[in-house]
Amino acid sequence: MEEASNADKIAIIDNGKIIVHDTPSKMKEKYTSNLLRIVPKDEELIYKYLEKRKCEYKVRADMVEVFLKNSMESLKILKEIENNISSFEVLEGNLDTVFINLTGKDIREV
């Protein structure tokens, strides 16, 4: 689906009906979120910080996943907690996720 990222506009079709028709960037903005994955040095401090900022997050093993509206949000978070980070990565939403979020189906199921 990523090859469609370079198109001017794309449509997602489910059960023979167009369910959305827009630019790839607008679809990603509307139907996905970006993700900041942090491996903290002190988990409790990170949890308190994220709760204070009212960030939506999920804990997975030794990693904290923070859901972001855009990847630029990660800069502020990283700057404020930089001394408590072992490692991190920022993942941007993609068109595969847009498809799954809109249809409830994995692309391989189609």
Across 1-110, the runs of DSSP E, i.e. the strands, are 10-14, 17-22, 34-40, 57-60, 63-68, 85-91
Three-state DSSP class for residue 100 = helix
Q: Give the Cα separation of 38 and 51 in Å (integer).
A: 15
The domains of the chain, with CATH numbers, are 1-32+93-110 (no CATH), 33-91 (3.30.70.260)
Question: How do the pLDDT tens digits run along the chain, 110 residues long?
Answer: 667 888 999 999 999 999 999 999 899 889 988 999 999 999 999 999 999 999 999 999 999 999 998 888 999 999 999 999 999 999 988 899 899 989 988 766 54
pTM score above 0.75: no
Q: Give the Cα separation of 56 and 41 in Å (integer).
A: 20
Q: CB-hemisphere CA count at 13 Å for 56?
A: 6
Q: Give the Cα separation of 56 and 65 in Å (integer).
A: 9
pLDDT at 33: 86
